[in-house]
Amino acid sequence: MEPEINPWSSNQSLDVEKFFSEFGIEPISQAIADLPELPYFFLRGIVLGHRDYGQIASAIRNRTPFHILTGFMPSGHPHLGHLMVMKEVVWHVQQGGNGYITIADREAHAVRGLSWEKCREYGKEYLACLYALGFEGTTYAQSRNDRLKDLAFEAATKVNFSELTAIYGFGPDTDLAHAESVITQVADILYPQIDRAPAPTLVPVGIDQDPHIRLTRGIAHKLRMFTVEERDGYISVRSKNAPDAALAAVHKAFRGSKKYEGHVDIKGAQCNDVKGKVREIELAHGGFGFFTPSSTYHIFMPGLTGGKMSSSIPESIISFYEPEAAVRKKVMSGITGGRMTLQEQKELGGEPDKCSLYMLNLFHMVSDDNVLLKIRKRCVSGEITCGQCKKETAERVVAFLKDFREKMDACTERIRV
Ligand code: TRP
Ligand code: SF4
């Protein structure tokens, strides 16, 4: 059985709408309505879905603690396709989030067979990109983080193989190490909450990573001692696997509450206050008190050959240290939304939304909305040929890379993996 989305496949075309409704991902628009400032990746429709972003938006607004984390599998050089998630992380750090980056070397070793040395080398390049973009925070490689591995083991007590089969299509011939890399990623996502303190945690990912998010949200919930629920006129705190002393402590913390077998009912209290207090009690009794992690989903920037930007198709990507001539060549041979003939192009105009180069401009090369709009207008009106438009794009990409490499080179001494 092949699951609908498989994080390890590189050729997928997803119907975003269908995907959202089927898996319960919400459109982002409402969740970001009250943010004090909106970055371009929200405004241009690049980041368009979320789970529980509301708790992150309120943390930003109220300046309360939150974590922002993502991970990269160091199975090749980083490329322009990785930049979006990085920018999301950096922006959220600037909004007050505690930044975390994990280098998923366990995954690269288990799933792609990379040596630990190679993982290290590529991992450093990813971190250089992040620092070049202004990242501040904690970074680690999975294989060198013992507390992470302990957390992964604990998380593994809450998942069995039939779940892994349902989510990832794992079968009897799946490596145990592949399964371990999955549970390590679950631990990654929960790690900031044990490293610092329980707080809402945002994981910006591409849509292909949603299976990991769903699995982690389930496990975060299962690892809690209690569930707190608002009922008709009272709040119910139910024990899932809390020690008796912890349940007694909940009862004691709320005057007039009633204690039953396995649950405490509380009247006249605010649900959020109860949640906070219960979390404290859980922590005091050796529990985790996890917040269920949140996620955002961005669309993929198409590769230059159409389809996804993927290291396994070298022509589809542009990486940061590629020679200028190669970069120009790739851009000039990129798939466009142009028409078959020049005549048609003049009459009908191009189709920017189908054009890998327009998307490259929209994602990363043009920060000024007016400039982008002008490119779009010249395209749809047939005013510009694809040849000319590609040339201009190639100039932008070359200039961008030159500047970016300088920034990357300037941060090498900060890199720890
Ligand atoms: N699986 C991710 C990838 O293929 C990498 C990853 C590891 C990750 N841990 C993570 C992503 C935690 C998000 C959050 O790139
Ligand atoms: Fe793409 Fe530019 Fe051609 Fe329009 S004119 S289809 S944006 S290359």
What pLDDT digit, counting tens, does each position of 174-229 carry? 999 999 999 999 999 999 999 999 999 999 998 889 999 999 999 999 999 999 99
pLDDT for the residue 8: 58
Q: What SS3 class is residue 129?
A: helix
Ligand 2 centre and the CA of 357: distance in Å?
7
pLDDT for the residue 308: 85
pLDDT for the residue 307: 85
Q: How confident is the model at residue 350 (pLDDT cuts 50, 70, 90)?
A: very high
Ligand 2 centre and the CA of 11: distance in Å?
24
Pocket test for ligand 2, best of 389, 391, 393, 396 (most atoms within 8 A of CB): 389
For residues 29-53, one letter each, b for 16 or more C-beta atoms within 10 angstroms of the residue's C-beta and e for the rest, the string is: eebbeebeeebbbbeeebbbbbbbb
Q: Return the bridge partners of 201, or none.
A: 67
Query: One-letter amino acid identity for 8?
Result: W
Q: How confident is the model at residue 130 (pLDDT cuts 50, 70, 90)?
A: very high
Ligand 1 centre and the CA of 101: distance in Å?
9
Half-sphere exposure of 101 (CA within 13 A, CB side): 29
For residue 44, pLDDT beyond 60: yes
**Which atom from ligand 1 is nearest to the alpha carbon of 102?**
9
DSSP structural state of residue 362: I
Distance (Å, whole) CA 218 – CA 207: 18
Ligand 1 centre and the CA of 3: distance in Å?
18
Of all ligands present, the nearest one to the C-alpha of 212 is: 1
> Which residues contact ligand 2 via a Cβ below 6 A?
336-338, 350, 352, 355, 357-358, 379, 384, 386, 389-390
pLDDT for the residue 16: 67
Judge if the beta carbon of residue 142 lies within 6 A of ligand 1.
no
Ligand 1 centre and the CA of 204: distance in Å?
10
For residue 320, pLDDT beyond 50: yes
Distance (Å, whole) CA 70 – CA 213: 11
For residue 252, pLDDT beyond 80: yes
**Whether pTM exceeds 0.85:** yes
Nearest CA to ligand 2 atom 4: 379
Ligand 1 centre and the CA of 350: distance in Å?
36
Q: What is the mean pLDDT of residues 1-27?
A: 63
Q: What is the mean pLDDT of residues 253-273?
A: 95
Distance (Å, whole) CA 137 – CA 158: 29
Ligand 1 centre and the CA of 104: distance in Å?
6
Judge if the beta carbon of residue 322 lies within 6 A of ligand 1.
no
For residue 7, pLDDT beyond 60: no
**Which atom from ligand 1 is nearest to the alpha carbon of 69?**
14
Of all ligands present, the nearest one to the C-alpha of 374 is: 2
pLDDT for the residue 208: 85
For residue 11, pLDDT beyond 60: no
Q: Which of 255, 145, 230, 238 is nearest to 192 (CA)?
A: 145
The strand pair at 138-141 and 98-103 is best described as parallel
Judge if the beta carbon of residue 71 lies within 6 A of ligand 1.
yes
Where is pLDDT greater, at 349 or 308? 349
Q: How confident is the model at residue 97 (pLDDT cuts 50, 70, 90)?
A: very high
Of all ligands present, the nearest one to the C-alpha of 354 is: 2
pLDDT for the residue 312: 86
Q: What is the pLDDT of residues 268-295, one digit of tens each?
A: 999 999 999 999 999 999 999 999 999 9
Pocket test for ligand 1, best of 212, 309, 310, 311 (most atoms within 8 A of CB): 212
Where is pLDDT greater, at 116 or 308? 116
Of all ligands present, the nearest one to the C-alpha of 358 is: 2
Ligand 1 centre and the CA of 175: distance in Å?
18
Q: What is the pLDDT of residues 134-144, one digit of tens each?
A: 999 999 999 99
For residue 318, pLDDT beyond 50: yes
Ligand 1 centre and the CA of 125: distance in Å?
16
For residue 10, pLDDT beyond 50: no
Judge if the beta carbon of residue 205 lies within 6 A of ligand 1.
yes
Tell me the average pLDDT of the chain. 93
pLDDT for the residue 417: 80
Ligand 2 centre and the CA of 309: distance in Å?
19
End-to-end CA distance of the chain: 37
Q: How confident is the model at residue 1 (pLDDT cuts 50, 70, 90)?
A: very low
pLDDT for the residue 15: 63
pLDDT for the residue 4: 53
Ligand 2 centre and the CA of 83: distance in Å?
22
Q: What is the pLDDT of residues 149-162, one digit of tens each?
A: 999 999 999 999 99
Cα torsion through 142, 148, 149, 150, rounded to 10: 170
Q: What is the mean pLDDT of residues 364-379?
A: 96
Judge if the beta carbon of residue 107 lies within 6 A of ligand 1.
yes
Of all ligands present, the nearest one to the C-alpha of 362 is: 2
